[in-house]
A and B are shown apart, each in its own frame.
Chain A
């Protein structure tokens, strides 16, 4: 009868009888491994944003949505009051100037407000010029008729 093989009775080796790696293999292996390591910049980038990569996809999507909405909210908040601010200040400052001084400024400065502008303004809303322009209906009509017909505004 064939004797049965017993592993305990077989001489134990630290590893199977396989051929050795090429000579000098373990001298070169560390250099080959080091040459394959990821670049330092990539590692630093990964360290900086690694926490983002470790988040679950659903959490990353949620975080991106919050960031976009936050951006919109911030831009809306910052642009609203600033856009309204200068106009509001200008309106408040103009209210403090007496109307007669304003009219005097407009008539004497280079703003070139002439009779035709005042007539057009009165035709649009007589209340606007009640305080300083006391013209009859006929004078207003005459001034309006005197508007040059080639002016594209009135064509």
Chain B
């Protein structure tokens, strides 16, 4: 179902639940993996993904359609992730690097990465980036999102996003080079 049809059906109380169910089915995988890349842990990603869709439900009536529906959902998901990570730091009084180390430990324990040293180091390097730079890296490198759309999601200028991604790539390459065996 197209976004336009989903939004039309959502306006009608009789078909609202059906339309929202379609919306969740359409975007659940993208939202989940966007969140999962940021918080790494499946249970955290599961909770946050549900929270994202609850927020979408609450505010969809006021969605003005001056952005694509998915860009708007992505923005909600991004804010949820950044709030989650920053509240985690505040709650446990952890510095930036400790949360990165915690996420890196989860990556190391993930069986999917066993035996792939370069991929493991790459993930560790990505997790050492500050949250917002990591977000920019994920959107560009994994999702291959155009900078203009990234600007809508993050509320940052295209120029700033390009610079942030360039620096992120440099940091990642240096870390992997330094930490892999010859």
Contact = CB atoms under 8 A, between A and B. Distances in A.
Given A5-B177, A7-B173, A15 B33 contact: yes
| Interface SS, B side | helix
B102 interface: no
B180 interface: yes
A36 interface: yes
Contact of B142 (A13, A33, A36, A38): A13
- Which range contains the number of B residues in contact with the other chain? 35 or more
A21 interface: yes
| Interface SS, A side | loop
B82 interface: no
Interface in A1-50: 2-7, 10, 12-22, 25-26, 29-30, 32-34, 36-38, 47
A18 B36 contact: yes
Contacts of A12: 141
A7 B177 contact: no
B28 interface: yes
A30 B32 CA distance: 12
Contacts of B126: 16
